Amino acid sequence: MSDARAAILGTLRRTRDAHPLTPPPSDFTPLAEKQWPPEERLPRIRRLMEAVHTEFLEATEADWPAVVTDFLTREGASTLLYAPETIDGAKLSANTHSPSPPRGEGRGEGDVASSLTLIPYDRPIEDFKQQMFEGIDAGLTGTLGAIADTGSLILWPSAQEPRLLSLVPHIHVALLRADALYDSFWQAMRDGRWADGMPTNALLISGPSKTADIEQTLAYGVHGPKRLVVVIVR
């Protein structure tokens, strides 16, 4: 060992011995200290996500299918990809239809024609890859909740609701239950017992897809959805 190396290691050992470290409690983490009053979590999440162009809608458990379909129809979307085997997917399918006015009568002022077609994600991707990438306007997913610390949605993809639902369509519509809010990612993992088992891919999403070129010109939708619409379900 060289004299210089021996001197450096000797100094480190003496410093270590003179200032022993006290191990932190087994449940300690700096993230545990990041807390907000319950009433401040949602406003903070919304503020952080709106700052990166996320859009928000308000709904209830009873009317969120109508809120989603009416919004997409107004925005000019014609197709919505959804997971039919999930609870949310089944509810969407059961509560969505395309009404038409009686023959000879026009629609009343404020009425919105619902021409949205629901596309169930019930086949292997190989069977409708072209349609997914070229003929789907929006995709609907649920969430596990949202994180106040970073302003992020938590998505837990499954065989019934694959991650492509949230990554490929131009518009990603995500359902966020207002009672599923966490202070930090650490709290979400702890409370959800993630250590007991995780999917092959979990997603944290804070806004629509965006990237910048060498001149720092920001563009949305290059590598994923151009719009992220969060439906707060109360």
- In the structure, what pLDDT confidence band is assigned to residue 111 with cuts at 50, 70 and 90? very low
Q: Average model confidence (pLDDT) for the chain?
A: 86
In percent, how much of the chain has pLDDT > 70? 86
| Chain-centre distance for alpha carbon 95 | 23
Instruction: Answer yes or no: is 3 within a domain.
Output: no
Q: How many CB atoms lie within 10 A of CB 58?
A: 12
- In the structure, what pLDDT confidence band is assigned to residue 112 with cuts at 50, 70 and 90? very low
CA pair distance 225, 139, nearest whole angstrom: 9
Range of the domain at 193: 45-98+113-210+226-234
Instruction: Answer yes or no: is 156 within a domain.
Output: yes
Question: Where would I find the H helices in the chain?
Answer: 3-18, 38-50, 64-74, 87-94, 129-135, 164-167, 185-191
Neighbouring residues of 182: CB distance < 8 A, sequence distance ≥ 6: 41, 145, 146, 147, 148, 154, 188, 191
Question: What are phi and psi for residue 40, nearest 5 degrees?
Answer: -95, -10
Instruction: Answer yes or no: is 104 within a domain.
Output: no
Instruction: Answer yes or no: is 34 within a domain.
Output: no
- In the structure, what pLDDT confidence band is assigned to residue 31 with cuts at 50, 70 and 90? low
What is the arithmetic mean of pLDDT over 102-121?
59
pLDDT at 55: 97
What is the arithmetic mean of pLDDT over 216-234?
88
Range of weakest confidence among 1-5, 22-26, 150-154: 22-26
Give, as one character, the DSSP assignment of residue 79. Answer: E
Instruction: Answer yes or no: is 201 within a domain.
Output: yes
What is the arithmetic mean of pLDDT over 105-120?
61
Range of weakest confidence among 8-12, 25-29, 97-101: 97-101
pLDDT at 216: 77
In this structure, are residues 81 and 132 in contact, taking their beta carbons and an 8 Å threshold?
Answer: yes
Instruction: Answer yes or no: is 6 within a domain.
Output: no
Residue positions counted in the chain: 234
Res 14 pLDDT > 60:
yes
In this structure, are residues 195 and 160 in contact, taking their beta carbons and an 8 Å threshold?
Answer: no
What is the arithmetic mean of pLDDT over 179-204?
90
Which of 41, 158, 38 has the alpha carbon at shortest distance from 88? 158
Q: Structural domain tally of the chain?
A: 1
CATH code at 117?
Answer: 3.40.50.10420
CA pair distance 144, 174, nearest whole angstrom: 10
Instruction: Answer yes or no: is 74 within a domain.
Output: yes
pLDDT tens-digit readout, 135-190:
899 999 999 999 999 999 999 999 999 999 999 999 999 999 999 999 999 899 98
pLDDT at 105: 41
